[in-house]
Amino acid sequence: MDIIRQSNMRTALVHHWLVAQRGGEGVLAALAELFPSADLFTLVYERSQLPSGIARRRLHSSFLQKFPRPAHWYPYYLPLFPLATEHLDLSGYDLVISSDAVTMKGVRVDAHATHICYCHTPMRYVWSGYETYTHAAGPLARLALQMTRNPLRTWDYRAAQGVTQFVANSLNVRDRIQQYYARQSVVIYPPVDTDQFVVPAFQQFAGNFFLLVSQLVPYKRVDLVVEAFNWFGMPLVIIGDGPERARLERQADPNIRFLGFQPRQTLVDYMQRCQAFVFAGEEDFGIVMAEAQACGKPVVALGKGGAREIIENGSTGILFEEQSVDSLLDGLERFRQTSFDASTLRASALRFRRERFLFEFSELVNERAVTQAR
């Protein structure tokens, strides 16, 4: 549905950064499908990492793009994010849709404009993930976070008050938006590519390994999974990269393999062949868990955050209670004792199919922006 053409509204899409293709970028790609003539704004980008459908767009970046190695060093520029966000020029747009996990909710828009913020999470660095980041940071980074936390919180709260409509990617994030911003939101789950992530034709060729796909950053708690599998002894394949990789590889026993970043088709192949997907972090939603289910694979995950909205304990996966090695090992033992049906797992993931996202978001825009503009 081309909402822009129907409504004659000049539209901008705003995303925090474009440096890798992850769940948030999948949301942006779906929004770009809904708004084919929208201009795109972001803090920094790496052109080789632009999702298909985005590369042809008119792309506007902030002044941070001119800084050294912006696609790699952007986390160190965090104190400048508010200024860079406010300096993006969105004058003249009738509809602004921000896909945000950091500061994009604070873009300056015209007084008449409608600003819909699809919030992946309130800024994790200064809200829900502050303790995790400071614990993992080096001395200088820790000091910088401590010094900037309160000013960034103040700015972020104020920026949230200028949003016309918040959309949360899960009930979990809806509660955070209420807690940190005192704003109501509607929930529209992110799109899962259930056309590419499918149940394999020959289930008997499944491997004997477990799978984890994640950024290798502190809050994902990959270290906990590695330690648990050092005890568990079963093969574990880890797909993904990040600043924690070298430390995690030193921690891991030989039954654990790190493959780094892998293309989408390789990821699908491993999901289709694994015994189960394992995750120990507290996710905002956790789209990769739904992708595993779409491949007919159960998920063993921490029973907090978005996992509770994706996994039905004992039916489509196993939820363990505490973020600890013992609790994860207990979950893995319960997995061994439980049978799972691939069709049930697949049906669970279809709740989050791409078509549902496109329909629900287009309905929201028609209600909040298009109808009001007439």
267 with 301, same domain: the answer is yes
- 3-state DSSP of 242-268: CCCHHHHHHHCCCCEEEEECCCHHHHH
Low-confidence ranges of the chain (pLDDT < 50): 1-6
Residue 310, domain CATH = 3.40.50.2000
Q: Whole domain around residue 326: which residue ranges?
A: 203-351
pLDDT computed for residue 57 by the predictor: 80
293 with 366, same domain: the answer is no
Claim: this prediction has a pTM higher than 0.85: yes
Q: Tens digit of pLDDT for each residue in 68-126?
A: 999 999 988 999 999 999 999 999 999 999 999 999 999 999 999 999 999 999 998 88
Distance between CA 57 and CA 348 in Å, rounded? Answer: 34
One-character DSSP codes across 150-185:
HHHHHHHHHHHTT-SEEEESSHHHHHHHHHHH---E
Distance of CA 174 to the CA centre of its chain: 15
Q: Does residue 224 lie in a domain region?
A: yes
Distance between CA 100 and CA 183 in Å, rounded? Answer: 15
CA-based end-to-end distance of the chain: 18
Q: Contact at 8 Å (CB) between 138 and 90?
A: no
**Which residues face 290 on adjacent strands?**
none
Q: Does residue 198 lie in a domain region?
A: no
Residues contacting 313, CB < 8 A, separation 6+: 303, 319
Four-residue CA torsion sign, 7, 9, 15, 20: positive
Q: How many domains does the chain have?
A: 2
pLDDT computed for residue 374 by the predictor: 54
Q: Does residue 143 lie in a domain region?
A: yes
